[in-house]
Structure 1
Amino acid sequence: MYHGTMGSGRGGGMGMGAIKRQRQTLSYLQEGKPDVRRTLRRLWKVITPYRWQFIGGTLLLLGGIVLGLLQPLLIRQIIDTAIPTRNMSMVVLLGAGMIVLPILSALLGLAQNYISVLVAQSMIADLREQLYQHIQSLGIDFFTWTRGGEIQSRFLNDAAALQGVLTQSFLGTLSNLITILGALIIMATINWPLALVAALVLPTFAFPVLHFGKRTYEATELTQKALGRLSTLLEETLNLSGVLVIKTFGTERHELKRFRVENQEVRQTQVAQALLGQWAGVVLQGLAAIGPALLYAYGAYLVIHNAIPLGTVVAFAAYLAQLYRPASSLAGANTSILGGLALFDRLFQVLDIEPTVKAAVNPQPLPATTTQGMAFKNVKFHYTDSPDVLHDVSFVAPPGQLTALVGPSGAGKSTLLSLAARLYDPAEGSISLEGIDLRDIANDALRQQIAVVTQEIFLFHTTLRENLLYGAPDATEEELGAAIVAAQLQELVERLPDGLDTTVGERGYRLSGGEKQRVAIARALLRKGPYLLLDEATSSLDSQAERLIQRALETLMRERTVIAIAHRLSTIQRADQILVIEQGHIVERGTHETLLEQSGLYQQLYQAQFNTPTSEKSESNVL
């Protein structure tokens, strides 16, 4: 919350603060004005759990405003009453009041600010948690079409800016409005002609905010764009992958030239922004001097003609100094409030995104044992705003058997595997597990049944142990050791400096491709799901690594129902059924031997990849 009752005689800093806040809130309106009523209703739901703290903070705010408005009256009494009557006891009493009132006002402000920060940060934490939970529930398509930086911006930039919106845009506007109205009422009660002069002077304080606000905003936009380009350059050239490319190509000088250009652009835009701010400060301080000067001139005229006492003029000048910041801030109040609502609206827009893969309304329990396997029935699928990539696909992956998917690149194999994992739902048809549609199975129950190993192995920047236990945090040391042996990882664990407690680096950079694949296999073994979805890696490995991975895969696939995008000849040969995919259709199905007897696509792919003395011996060629 904003505690703005204590004015200052120098207004440059305050006025520039108002310009800065206007500039910030203007940026929130770039995507359009929010639906005010709708956003306010939703905002109230966020505030409701903290309404009593909110009310308490508002009362403290009002108390601080009242105490601030009493101080000029004490000055007036000292000059107009105590001094002329030489009443020292009144001077002491009023002087003590001038000490006590600011202290009490500061204490109220401290308590109010504490409550404000507590409420604002609690609301922000609640929104962040809602946002994180909701984004986790969204389908893969959201992450496919949304930039990672945009998602992070909602958490870091938008959510962090909410405190300023709550404390300055909303309560700050309320505080400023009450301060101005209260001061003007008191001034009018004392002397309405002088109050009228003060009221006429107030709009001049708002002029710099209105005039320089837009210019400062435009200058800041240029600076932010330059900083954005510099940030992108730094992100590209100072991360591990970028550094490797730069060093291997020897392009350090080229990148240094790029950096110098962007760095100079940032310097120039920031200098221009700073100069504009300095000019705004000059105008603000000039106007801050003109207002009191006019008031004192007219007040002196009235004092000379015995129309009002001197203390009243001094009190009016004190009120005018107090009113400077509220008047400046109210000039951009409309923009600030709309900008604040727009910021909340940006978060609500993400929270309003409907998950494409919806949770089961009445989830059905899965049987304890697998008896029916996984079945695709007349499945059609297309990505957003794209033509169908799967057409009327039907097959059954029987329990305990290996179903291999083969076909040219782009045929739809990876899409089939994604549908089997329920990362997407089919546009038409159904996919069932043990006779139950995947859409009727609770997500947690489904994940417990399925282990997934993909080509792109992602490891977290933490220890090898935590990466292995990621899908099975309750696994025992014996189970972990057995998975390490089955995945052929003993030698790796022994070689690492801290064994299982060695940090594997960003995306597992400290491990080779084959080692990362075996870590993924061990992770799937610990998962203990009766179903395995496997996308075999196509990368060429040395013969030793290939043998280790093959042994690990044989252990992983044992006694599991497996659907695999098969690239290794050994996997294809041992498959109980092979589905040949072309342009989203299953064009052939059967075993390795029966498909070779047909003069179809499988035979063509096999002859192109494996039907040579060299490739017959290779386990890393791709079908």
Structure 2
Amino acid sequence: MTDGPADQARPAAGGDRSTRVAVATTYRLTAGHRTAALVATVLTLAGSAVGLAQPLVAKQIVDASGREQVLWPLLLLLAALFLAEAATGAVGRFVLERMGEGIVRGLRHGLVARLLRLEMREYDRHRSGDLISRVTADATLLREVVSQALVDLVTGALVAAGAIVLMLWIDPLLLLLVALTVAAAAVIVASLLRGIRAASERMQTSVGAIAADLERALGALPMVRVHRAEEREAARIGERVETAHSAGVRTAKLASLMSPAVELAVQGSFLIVLVIGGLRVNGDANSLGDLVAFLLYASYLVLPLSSVFRAVGLIQRGMGAYQRIEQALALPAEPSREPPAAVRAFPREPGRPAAADREPALALRNLRFGYDPDRPVLRGVSFTVPHRQQTALVGRSGAGKSTIFALVARFYEPDSGTLLFDGLPATALSRTACRGRIAAVDQNTHVVHGTLADNLTYAAPGATGAELRRVIELAQLEGVVRRLPGGLSGMLGERGGTLSAGERQRVALARALLTRPAILLLDEPTSHLDTINETALTAVMKDVARECALLVIAHRLSTVQHADQIVVLDGGRTVAQGRHEDLLTSSPLYRRLAAGQMLRPAEARTSADAPTPPAVNPGGA
């Protein structure tokens, strides 16, 4: 992936808050759009040049009227200059706005691509709502900077310089007095800029926190309401709103102080020119036309100077937003390109293992891993998953079962040990090749907003109707298809809210089966099923095991007792392996786990009839 404007500008933002560095960073953001920026600048300057010519024409009109000369040619020229200035200004502004939208589009593409490929550890460290706000709110603020501030700064400075040159030509003394007034205002404005940027950074951070907290509350809204926590959540988010409000008010206060400073420069210089210039006309040091022209240039100086001050303030505010975008772009991500030595494909099609496999579908050899290096979760796990067999993982909560799934999916890399697919080390394979071999049904089943067909074909968008019918039958989704208005085209709602927990689980299972994986990972596949559906799913799992390797995390005895192999984990270690009957006699831990479940044959199953919201995976063990 080629570097976009955000990548090219990344080193410059740092922590330096100086206006020079901020302007340089903003300029680097225009990489790839320099032609549009140049065209907009030329058009704006052309319009400003036409505007600078107008006072000279006005001077000629005033002087000509005193000599009783014909005025209409000069009046027509002045009207033509007005129209030319308006036309070039409008075209230049459109080019600028389009350029700004293009730059922000590139930033957003880069941010979205980056956020979707972040290392899984980064999602544990950062709140998703805050990351999303960097794509939305921060990028929107930055658009104003790149579409307005930079060109306004350049053209404003050049136009001001042109006006000053012409004012110097007309009356150097009056120009000196105006310059002193403007300098006093500039000192005041410069002292306000640092505070404006700091307040803007706090405001943008608070806006991101609002989005994160609101997403947290809305994502668990049924729980919030059942526990009558609406007011507590509103108060939590309200604190963020108050922080954003305070920062916004401070930004507005500092920005409002800039207005009187600019007005001081404008009105003070105008009054000085009017009084001193009038006295000089009375003393015959200048003509009335000179005074009119100088006054017009003094008034024309107001707009470019105001645009310069406003542009600098906007750039400082935008740098707060850009710093947050830069931080997101700098977060470590999974490689978009695999190393050249990585194996990209297996010698046979996934899901169709050779008749005589010498190597297991999956092997773990002395795997060690911890989300926190000081707190290991896996302390040396070793076992194999043969082709066309069902392997079950059992153990107490926190034994490391879900962590093993995360390592098999290569969401994380083990701290030590070896993970092998068909005898090939995972480190020698591309992540794409590894993930192309597996499919997973998470305990927290993920159903995206869209139709039932969209969800089923998410991993296999080219699936045929026959393939869809096959997995619908295997996962026993016929009733769901009949019930939904529109059948396969029926909308499932946000996070599958129109489905029960058991139905969401079966949708996830059908989606996984549609890819015909070589290894199917099932995390608590029967946790949301009633007895009838659990028996049916057990039969489905037997059928699936004839096609691929099954690795199942299970706590129910009925799920594991028919497995070809059971691996018992305890404290991040493999403590026993074997079939159900053998482990009942050889493993005290397995015997206790089985006895605990056999004491509760009904197992207090969760009803599969009432829709309930899916839980959020905390990423733990």
TM range (shorter): 0.7 to 0.9
Equivalence for 1:504? 492
Q: 2:38 aligns with which of 44, 55, 61?
A: 55
Equivalence for 1:67? 50
My pick for the range that moved more, 273-282 or 390-399, is 273-282
Equivalence for 2:141? 161
Distance in 1 separating the partners of 2:573 and 2:118: 28
In structure 2, the CA distance between the partners of 1:222 and 1:444, relative to structure 1 (3 Å rule), is: closer
Equivalence for 1:8? none
Q: 2:300 aligns with which of 322, 331, 335?
A: 322
Distance in 1 separating the partners of 2:256 and 2:39: 39
| Residue 64 of structure 2 corresponds to residue 85 of structure 1 | no
What SS does the corresponding residue of 2:417 show, helix, strand or coil?
strand
Superposition map of 1:482-521 within 5 A: 482-521=470-509
**2:527–2:605 Cα contact (<8 Å) kept:** yes
Equivalence for 1:26? none
In structure 2, the CA distance between the partners of 1:315 and 1:44, relative to structure 1 (3 Å rule), is: closer
Residue-by-residue CA offset, 1:354-382 (whole Å, 9 max, x unaligned): 33567531232312153321112232212
1:408, distance to aligned residue in structure 2 (A):
0.7
In structure 2, the CA distance between the partners of 1:228 and 1:619, relative to structure 1 (3 Å rule), is: closer
Equivalence for 1:242? 221
Letter in 1 for 2:60: Q
Q: 2:155 aligns with which of 175, 178, 183?
A: 175
**2:37–2:151 Cα contact (<8 Å) kept:** no
**1:177–1:330 Cα contact (<8 Å) kept:** yes
**2:210–2:237 Cα contact (<8 Å) kept:** yes
What SS does the corresponding residue of 2:439 show, helix, strand or coil?
strand
Residue-by-residue CA offset, 1:169-215 (whole Å, 9 max, x unaligned): 32221112112111111111122112212222223554664577788
Distance in 2 separating the partners of 1:581 and 1:509: 35
Residue-by-residue CA offset, 1:535-589 (whole Å, 9 max, x unaligned): 1147454323433443444444442111211223233122222211111111112
Superposition map of 1:89-128 within 5 A: 91-128=71-108
Q: 1:352 aligns with which of 304, 317, 330?
A: 330
Superposition map of 1:190-269 within 5 A: 190-206=170-186, 209=189, 239=218, 241-242=220-221, 245-246=224-225, 248=226
Residue-by-residue CA offset, 1:105-128 (whole Å, 9 max, x unaligned): 222122222222222222221222
Equivalence for 1:13? none
Letter in 1 for 2:172: W
1:516, distance to aligned residue in structure 2 (A):
0.5
Equivalence for 1:7? none
**1:390–1:584 Cα contact (<8 Å) kept:** yes
| Residue 517 of structure 2 corresponds to residue 544 of structure 1 | no
Q: 1:436 aligns with which of 424, 427, 437?
A: 424
Distance in 2 separating the partners of 1:436 and 1:236: 41
1:51, distance to aligned residue in structure 2 (A):
2.7
Output the TM-score relative to the length of structure 1.
Answer: 0.83
In structure 2, the CA distance between the partners of 1:250 and 1:447, relative to structure 1 (3 Å rule), is: closer
Superposition map of 1:461-476 within 5 A: 461-476=449-464
What SS does the corresponding residue of 1:459 show, helix, strand or coil?
coil
**2:13–2:25 Cα contact (<8 Å) kept:** no
Residue-by-residue CA offset, 1:429-486 (whole Å, 9 max, x unaligned): 2212122222332333333321111100111111111111111111111111111111
Q: 2:270 aligns with which of 278, 292, 303?
A: 292
Distance in 1 separating the partners of 2:205 and 2:391: 52
My pick for the range that moved more, 586-595 or 225-234, is 225-234
Distance in 2 separating the partners of 1:552 and 1:148: 36
Equivalence for 1:10? none
What SS does the corresponding residue of 2:480 show, helix, strand or coil?
helix
What SS does the corresponding residue of 1:83 show, helix, strand or coil?
helix
Letter in 1 for 2:281: V
Unpaired stretches in structure 2, ≥5 consecutive residues: 1-11, 607-621
Letter in 1 for 2:65: I
In structure 2, the CA distance between the partners of 1:208 and 1:127, relative to structure 1 (3 Å rule), is: same
Letter in 1 for 2:33: Y
**2:131–2:328 Cα contact (<8 Å) kept:** no
**2:394–2:555 Cα contact (<8 Å) kept:** yes
In structure 2, the CA distance between the partners of 1:209 and 1:329, relative to structure 1 (3 Å rule), is: farther
> Paired residues, what number?
585
Letter in 2 for 1:521: L
In structure 2, the CA distance between the partners of 1:162 and 1:539, relative to structure 1 (3 Å rule), is: same
What SS does the corresponding residue of 1:594 show, helix, strand or coil?
helix
**1:357–1:424 Cα contact (<8 Å) kept:** no
1:56, distance to aligned residue in structure 2 (A):
2.1
Residue-by-residue CA offset, 1:219-257 (whole Å, 9 max, x unaligned): 9899989988987887677x47436643x4567788899
Equivalence for 2:592? 604
**1:61–1:108 Cα contact (<8 Å) kept:** yes
1:290, distance to aligned residue in structure 2 (A):
3.1
**1:421–1:533 Cα contact (<8 Å) kept:** no
Unpaired stretches in structure 1, ≥5 consecutive residues: 1-28
Q: 1:420 aligns with which of 388, 398, 408?
A: 408
What SS does the corresponding residue of 2:377 show, helix, strand or coil?
strand
What SS does the corresponding residue of 1:579 show, helix, strand or coil?
strand
Letter in 2 for 1:491: G
| Residue 59 of structure 2 corresponds to residue 76 of structure 1 | yes
Equivalence for 1:477? 465
What SS does the corresponding residue of 1:461 show, helix, strand or coil?
coil
Letter in 1 for 2:61: I
In structure 2, the CA distance between the partners of 1:243 and 1:314, relative to structure 1 (3 Å rule), is: farther
My pick for the range that moved more, 102-111 or 553-562, is 553-562
In structure 2, the CA distance between the partners of 1:41 and 1:354, relative to structure 1 (3 Å rule), is: farther
Letter in 2 for 1:430: T
Output the TM-score relative to the length of structure 2.
Answer: 0.83
**1:517–1:549 Cα contact (<8 Å) kept:** no
Equivalence for 2:3? none
**2:505–2:528 Cα contact (<8 Å) kept:** no
Letter in 2 for 1:117: E
Distance in 2 separating the partners of 1:330 and 1:399: 70
In structure 2, the CA distance between the partners of 1:231 and 1:264, relative to structure 1 (3 Å rule), is: same
Distance in 2 separating the partners of 1:37 and 1:208: 18
What SS does the corresponding residue of 1:452 show, helix, strand or coil?
strand
**2:270–2:298 Cα contact (<8 Å) kept:** yes
In structure 2, the CA distance between the partners of 1:265 and 1:135, relative to structure 1 (3 Å rule), is: closer
1:528, distance to aligned residue in structure 2 (A):
1.1
Distance in 2 separating the partners of 1:269 and 1:351: 25
Distance in 2 separating the partners of 1:269 and 1:211: 18
Letter in 2 for 1:586: T
Letter in 1 for 2:81: L
Distance in 2 separating the partners of 1:397 and 1:339: 56
Identity of aligned residues (%): 32
Letter in 2 for 1:99: A
**1:568–1:620 Cα contact (<8 Å) kept:** no
My pick for the range that moved more, 101-110 or 214-223, is 214-223
What SS does the corresponding residue of 1:152 show, helix, strand or coil?
helix
In structure 2, the CA distance between the partners of 1:530 and 1:256, relative to structure 1 (3 Å rule), is: closer
**1:487–1:551 Cα contact (<8 Å) kept:** no
Residue-by-residue CA offset, 1:71-126 (whole Å, 9 max, x unaligned): 1111112112x1122111xx222222221112212221222222222222222212
